[in-house]
Amino acid sequence: MGRILVTGITFGVFMAEALIHYNMGRTKKGEKFHLQLPPAKELAKIAAVTGSFSLVSGVLINTLQKRMSNKI
């Protein structure tokens, strides 16, 4: 359960960050910044990349926790 929780939280945080960056990149100079969801195809790409990195992060955290607990 711990790995799923870490991966899920990481995905949520990374996805929020990715959507903020997406909107920052779309905002033209002088325009007011506002958040909006990208088109479905673009959102799926962002979610796939974010999900991949969340899984990697979860695996690394789990691996490091196991290695560190063995040394204590």
Number of domains in the chain: 1
State the DSSP H helix or E strand holding residue 33, giving kind and residue range, or none if neither: none
Give the CA distances from residue 9 to residues 25, 34, 49, 50, 52, in Å, rounded to whole numbers and listed in that order. Answer: 24, 24, 15, 12, 13
Coil, helix or strand for 60?
helix
User: pLDDT digit of tens for each residue in the chain (72 aa)?
Assistant: 677 888 899 999 999 999 999 999 999 888 898 899 999 999 999 999 999 999 998 888 888 888 888 775
Which residues span the domain enclosing 53?
Answer: 2-71
